Amino acid sequence: MKKILLLSLSILVMACGGTKTESTSEVQETPQTNTSHHSASIAKVFDAHGGFDNWSKLKMLTYENGGSKTTVELQNRYTRIESETQTVGFDGDNVWVYPPSENADRQRMRYNLMFYFYAFPFVVGDPGVNYGAMDPIEIKGETYNAVKVTYNAGIGDAPNDSYIILSNQQTDRMEWLMYTATFGGAAKDSYSLIKYGGWKEIGGVILPSSLQWYSYTDGEAGNPRGGANLFENIEVSQAYPSMDKFIMPEGAQDITNPAS
């Protein structure tokens, strides 16, 4: 079964299936994704972005963002994030950083933080996720359909996190994401807000090229928070990447459990 790698969002707020085979260059085929738990409301959103079936066929996603290049093996979420000075990876068992980092907690979050936001709405299509249709929500004078996303107990790193996907009432395409952050296992009462833009058809699915955080207080969206996160050279593939690139190199620091 595909691993559901949820994220704990406290660091972000403060700052703003398949299994491995004995060969590290191959992975086993992941069983067909179960979509029987998808609600009608979330299925409309998936379909507006190319369809969850098309997303499930993909084996690799790459993009450049913030001076780094991210490669994700999508069936098991093995990850490699390369920048000029550092590489962070996930090999299916361990999260690692090379060269070693004094800020292990932050680097532990880095390996799937931006990917998780970037891959919405598809990233919340896996088993163990629940969907609840809500009354429409107004953001900056526009009214959007709303679907709340929550998780079963024990799913991922932060099952207490929740999300609200806001989609265009005519096209069903996602335009905003509201999310709560987890602190010490308990979610905050307030939501943070992201605007999605620059949607592009890539390999049969619709992916964003811009994520912009906004201030959000008492149900009102304010001004942008800093500059937009831009994504370039986005590519997807139905072929697996070389799994060797996810192996923890000699001299790397294991940051799977940085507090231990």
At 35-51, the pLDDT tens digits run 889 999 999 999 999 99
Name residues whose C-beta falls within 8 Å of residue 220's C-beta, 6 or more positions apart in sequence. none
Determine the average pLDDT of the residues in 245-252: 94
Minimum mean pLDDT range among 16-25, 96-105, 137-146, 173-182: 16-25
Structure-token pair, residue 61: 């996603």
Residue type, 137: I
pLDDT bin (cut points 50, 70, 90) of residue 6 is very low
At 112-138, the pLDDT tens digits run 889 999 999 999 998 889 999 999 999
Cα separation, 76 vs 109, in Å, equals 17
Paired residues of 18 in beta bridges? none
Helix (H) or strand (E) holding 115: helix 104-118
pLDDT at 15 over 80: no
What domains are there in the chain, each with its CATH number?
10-254 (2.50.20)
Determine the average pLDDT of the residues in 90-96: 92
pTM of the model: 0.84
What separation in angstroms does the CA of 143 have from each of 154, 175, 176? Answer: 34, 11, 11
- Give, as one character, the DSSP assignment of residue 31: P
